[in-house]
Every structure is written in structure tokens, then in C-alpha cells.
Chain A
Amino acid sequence: MGADLKVIGNADQDAQVECQIRDLTVTFTTDSGEFPALNHVNLDIIKSKITAIVGESGSGKSTLGLAILNGVAFPGKVTEGSVDFAEHGNVLKLRGKALRHFRGPVVGTVFQASQNAMNPLARVGKQILDLGRSHHYKDPRKLLHEAENLARRMAMDPSRVLTAYPHQLSGGMRQRMGIIMALVLKPKVLLLDEPTTALDLLTQSAVLEIIRSIHRERHLTTILITHDMGVVAEISDYIVVMYAGRVVEQGSTHETLRDPRHPYTRAILRAIPRLTGDLNRARPLEGSPPDLTQIPATGCVFRSRCSYRVPQCDLVAPILESVDTGHFVACHQEGLIRD
């Protein structure tokens, strides 16, 4: 699987890896047993590109985001694997201060529930200063200045939003504030967990536009965790499709959306209603999202919802294999799946 990188490299001569995930396995221990939330995930996050990680709830995409920050907490535990960052080594080995100064200054995070990601009792500006103090910023005024510039970028009045309490801001403003708090420490990696969920469509596209322009301008490596294929198609360079804690398909966004090879990817793409044409053509994905407690130990994790199922799927778990330059699929029937 270590070959992923080279093949992608063939497609894009300049591609460099910012973050290399190998054999990452995260297990959740509950009263009724141990369940893998991530199962031997291998992934290369390409520098200065937007990588989208997509999947339903329960696919392990948020756990993957937490693992990148070495933030998997009880009852979850990283049982195997590594997350290597170019200049920081294996993040899963970082502890204490080293870990604290990795989170924030190296990887800035915008949280899934960004609406509630700020202390309700402190003014927004004060919380930005708390960030600065946590990361030994010598000049707090410079930090605030940076925050003001970002706020202006995002069409907000800096003097108003920085002196406001979180509850005085609208949902979209809080979301943008979350992005500012992730960017103000000038990280090189931006991790976004469902950044546009819970926003109305207009605010959503505005937030995406901001993410895209700042990504370009600062040469950020951006990881976008989402379930929204529309968002993926709009801004990402690479796509990683996850199902039940495994990567089932990955490749460049353009190639993968044009020619999806995994039955799951095809199914979720088919479930998107078209703006033009018959609404009935959109077909919902059958079955229910993966339940971690019900994942079969052997065979393909998707087989119970798959229409291409063959006896082999019950016995052998398919491995991620290259089907095209930089395009990988984990499916036994991949060769048969053609329109």
C-alpha cells in the first residue's frame, strides 16, 4: 500500500506528501465488546491540495480527523498504525507540550459543531488571545491584528465580532469565527470537519469560497471531512471514500466522480438529486448506514447493501488496488462495474 504515493505522483509530478497515514486502526471498547472504528487505513494527504474524506455517519471519517490530531479519546484507542507529518514525525507518539503545540500551530481545526466551539462566557477576542497565550505568542496585538484581517476577509466587522460574545453572532458568523480561530495561528494544515453542515445554502457557498481562496493563498494542505458530495465536487482535488472504517475508493476528485468504481461510491452519487431532469432519477441508498457493532469480521464490509455481491465477498475482504493512475478501489467486482 506504500505504493499509493508513487502512483499519485505519476499523475501529478509535483505532488508531495504532507501527512502519511499507515495501517491506522482505532478500536472502541464498549460493554458489548471491541469495535474497530478505523480498520487499517492507509492514506497520503497531498501537500497544498484539498483532500475530501467522505462517508456516511459511522464511516469513521470524524475518528480519522481526531486521529490526525492524536485526539482519539476514551472509549476509543489507537491500537495500530502511524500518522506521520513531514516535519513532525509520528503524531501518535507526541505527548504533553509537543502535542499541544502541534494542535493549532501546525494543524488548525474547524470543528463539526463549530456553532458551539467557543466558550459562551468569554468574548471572542479574549478567546483568540487565550490561543496566543497557549502558544507563546509574544505580541498579542499582532495576533488580534491577524484576526481582524481575517474577519475583514470574511466580510465581518472586526471591531464588532471580536468584542462580541459567541451567542451574539449568527450561525454563519460563528462558523467563520471557527475558521478564523483555526487560521490565526498560521498552520500549514487545515482540518475541516463538516464545515458547512447546519449552514443555509448561501452561507455555505460563501464559507466554501473563503476556504478555497485562503487555501490557495496560503498554500495550505486542506483536509475536508464531509458527507456532502456537492461540496466535494466543488472544491476538492482528491477524494477518499470511507465505509465502516475502511477506505473503499480514493483518487483524484475529477477522475473518481467521472468514473466511480466502487458500488458504494456509485450508489451515493446516484442518490444526489439533479437540479435539472426527473427528480425520481435520484435513488436513495438502500439499507442502513454501517453499525460498528454489526460489522462482519470477514469479507467485504459493504456486501449486505451491494447489488454486485458474489460468494467471494463473504469470505475475503477486498484490498485497495490501483485501477487507473492514482485511482484505487477495494472491490472484487470492480472489473464488472461499467455503465
Chain B
Amino acid sequence: MIETLYASGALNSPSGFLWATLLGVLFGLALERAGFGSSRRLAGVFYFEDMAVVKVMFSAMLTAMIGLNLAAALGILSFEALYLMPSVYGAYAVAGLVFGAGFVMSGWCPGTGLVGLASGKLDALVFLLGALLGSALYSELYPLLAGLARWGDSGAVLLPDLLGLPRPVFVTVFAVLGVAAFWLSEHLERRHYGRALATGKAFLAAVSAGFVLLAASLLSLPAPITAVTARGAPPEGFLAAIAEASDHIEPEELADRLMAGEPSLLVVDIRPAAEFAEFHLRGALNIPLEDLEAGLAPYRQGHLVVLCSGGMTHAAQARDHLARQGFENVYLLTDGLDGFIRRCLTPVSLRPAPVGPREAARINAWRAFFSASPAQAAGSPPLPYDGPLPGLVSTAWLAEHLTTPALRIIDLRAQPDYNYGHIPGSVCLSLESLRGSVGGLSSMLLPADLLARHFSLLGITPETLVVLVPGEKPHDATLAAMACERLGHRRYLILDGGFTAWEVEERPMDTLLPSIPETRYPAPAGPDGFTVDASGVLATLHDGRTVILDVRPAEYFSGQKTDEARAGHIPGAVNRPLTEDVQKDGEVSRLKPVPELEAAYAAIIPDKDTPVIVHCRTGHQASQGWFVLKRLLGYRNVKYYDGSWSEWASRPELPVETGEK
């Protein structure tokens, strides 16, 4: 059995380059001998004049096809040692049509164009310059074309296998069709020129008989044992190393090594992001097929990369492509994810064969480890939630729905705390990334388009149910809630008691970081409808209706203390420090029960239709007042003054009052 340079991964090595050069010389020679250094001759086929292209191309194709099948039948060569291009039907059909147009316009194709150049043809040089430009144009436009380039990708499959025909039968049929094309070509030429161009009938008959008989002789040879990776059949010897199964990793071994936390082991899931989101192995990295080469570049050395997809076909193709690019550390998961689920994650009770106690314990350990990986969904069906939205949610509910896709848990604590331990599957978000300088005012909630970008990076779609997890301060969650509100995202919940409650109740924790596919969250145009600026506040000062609610601590309200340009408060404002909305249960801070809040605010605000403007010093604490009034108590006209005291105090033209109220 021949080990090809491709199979040994040496295609792009000095010996590969030497062979390629030598074969190129022979290739150029054969093309030139055929007369393909002439564009006029090449184009002739499209006018049914000179049919040499058909004759040369199909004799060459038949010769190589018969030779290959002969070599495979005799055990000289396995198809698995050959580079088989994937069949991307849609892309290839479009490409073929465009290529044909370019071929007939120029009279050249890349190989013959080089021969034309070698023969001194200026039109060949111009054609090649065009081809260079066309290649570069494709690269430039690739971001737009990536979908088309993958349209109809059906993997590497052989046509006889697809048709269910034995390969010798297919080759024989192909030979008969080829011979028919030769006779048709001769007929067309005779009609055009009134005579045969180069071939007598006896010669043509001999060539025809030769091809058909050689092809038919394959029928008498024993069937080759090769099974290509097509149609889900497991490959028996993909590369030489795979023949000894040293390039495969068995699901059981992978499961054990992942549980052992081997640091150099990297599982790369090559399925599309949406499928990955539905299910993936814990700790797996999602690099869709088309980004694989670039995505794996950082792991070229020092890592053991295991490729997996649903079955084996795509992973095997990817392995094959990567080997060509010199990756030597890439392994395949035997039987793919389907096999992993069947062999490792199927409960003992559902297994067809009885399982011994030791094996059962192993299976249960795998199941516990791998089912702890929460699915990180984008684009999964929305999670039904029957409580009020937006609203508060209990730790018990969250624990129960932890593994549900379409849930995004956002941990708002500091990043070191998050890394030390977090709710499984949760993602860390710094509150400060939601705020910034806007129009000269610092600490303003960012405009919707920037927030939408953040949400996209968090893998959120408008259908995602977002759970906001503060540390100890409920107003951290309400500030993130304001970001949701600005985007019109009402599907959010605040974890009651925050992370502290989760921790105190000893619920599951994780240190693994989730892998989250980016989404595209649409940014709403226009104002959010609840934010007011200083002039909006000023306009309400003497309307006799609007309640301005200042949630800063009392000593700041009265003016005894200040961190800002001026001390005091907005004239007529009412003070209710935010701490009065919060109660402490041991270590856990949470918002007070709704009836208690209801009574407290009823004493300050006449009714639920009264316009209310909430502010604090920077807009952070005011978010809590806004959330309590608007979302928990159902006040209908609550505005948020984001600029808050920082802005008001800095503008000398705005009125200020001091003292208690």
C-alpha cells in the first residue's frame, strides 16, 4: 500500500514541492503536446469546431479513473490516502457556470493559460493577470460570499457510493459515456470541416474498445476494502496513523481525560453555533468548520486537539484539511458526539446490555460531570416563564432551570469573585461597561446601540430570558435592568438575594467559563421613553404634580455632606434613601417584600398615576427606585434622571435647596 505525501502530511514539505514541480513539468508538457497552448483551439469546443478539449479531458479522466480503481482493487492505493474535495453542490454549480463563461471569453483556464504564457501568448499573460485580480476580488468579497461558498456542502463522497453502485460498474458506465462523447465529437468535427481532424475511425474504435474493456476488467477484480468516510460509515484507516487508530480517541477515554481536567486537552466542536448551543461537551470550544484553521492556530503546539461533530464525516474532513496545513496534533472523536452520547451518557437503565457495578459507577460519574454543563443557547426557543416579567426570581427557580437553553445568567460581581466561583453557565459583566461619558456627563447609561453590542457579545437575543445576579447590592442588578429597559428587553429577572443567597444556600458552583456564541441584538432607534435630562426635570419643578424622588443618603440630601460641586437637593424633592428599600437577612441583602414597599411609597406619592422622577448622585442608585416603583409596584409614570445630582450640582444656573424634608 502506497503512503502518499498527502497521507503522511508532507504535501507542503520540500519533497512535496519537488514532486509537485516535477508533475507540473509533465502536466505542462502534456497540455502543450495536446495543443492547449492555443486559446483558439481551446475555445473551439464551444463552437462545435475543434473538440480536442472534450477528447483530451475525458481520455485523461478515464485513464486516471481506471488507473485509480485498478490500484485500489489491487491494494496498491487506498482512496483514504487521497485528498477528496468536498462536494459543495450549490457553490460548485454557480462557480462552474461563471468559470465556463470566463473560459469561453478568454479562451484560457489557469493551467492552459500558463502553457500559453510559456508559448509567448500575450493574451495568456493578460488572462493570468485577470485571474490574479479575480482571486483577490474573491478574497475581498469573501465576508459576503461565505454563505454561498458553503451552499450545498455535502462533504467528501464518491458518486458511485452515493448512487449505491459498485465502483467498477460506475467506471464502466462512465467509460461508455466518455466513448459516446468521443464519437459525437468526431461527428461534429466531420460535419464542420468535412473530414476527420486527426483521427481515423479504426483508431477511434481501438481507443473506445480499450477504455471500455479496461473499465469492464475492473468488474472481475475483488472489491477493494476501502470505505470512504461518506454516508456516516466509520473510516477504517483514514490516514496511515489512523490505521492503527492512533489518530482517534475513544469516547470513554475522552470522558475520563476531560474529567481529570487535563490542561492540554482541547475539545473543538466544529458544528454550527446554533447546534453547539443546544448541546456540547463541557469545556468544548466551538469553532465552526469554516473558521477552523484560523481558530486553531493558537493551539498548534502543546495541545491535543480533539475534533468532534455530530457524526464523523465533517470531523474527518476537517482533520484531513488541517493535516494538509501541517497540524499534527489533531485527533478525531471516534463515532462523534452521537457516539459519545450513546457510549458515555446513556443512563445505565437504558443500555441494551447489562452493565457491571464498576462500569455503572463510571457511567454515572460521566453523566454527572457532563450534564452539569449548562447549554448556552442563542436562538433556542424562548423559555416560558409564567411569573411577572420583568420581576424578581427565586434562587430555587433558577437552580431548577439552570440547564435550560435560552437563559442567560449575568453575574454582576467583580471579575475575580466571579472567577473564584459562580453559578454554572453564568457570564461575568462589569457594570461599568454599561456606563460611560455621554455628552460631557460621566457615568451615563450608554446609548442603545452600544448596549446592543454588549448584549450581542453576551449572546443575548430579544427572546433570551436574562437573569441578573447582583453581589450584595440589589441596585447593581437594577442598573443592569436599566440597560435592558433601554433596549426594550423586558424578558429579564433579578435574582432575589443575589449571589450571596445562592452561596449561602450552597447551590451548585462552577469555575468553568461558558462559551457563548455571539448574537446580533437589534438596537432600537429613538429615545427609551423613561430617561429625562436636566431641562426635563426643571420643567416639572413648579407643575404641582411631579414628585422628584431623591434616593441619596439623608445627609447628602440635606446638604450636610457633598461629593459634588454644590450641596443640597433639587427644590421640592422628596428624600427616600435607597437603603430603606432593602432588608438584610443574615448576610443576604434583598429588596423588601412588595406590601411593605407599597405602604412606604403610598405615603410619599399620592397615587400610581402621579409623575415621578427618580434620581441619585450618578444614576446608579436611582435605578433601584425606578425598578421598585415601575416594575414591582406598578407606578405608571416613572422617569429616570440619569445625570442626577452630579449634573445638577455642576450647573450653577439650576436651583438648589438645602435642609431636610
Asked if chains A and B come from one complex, the reply is no
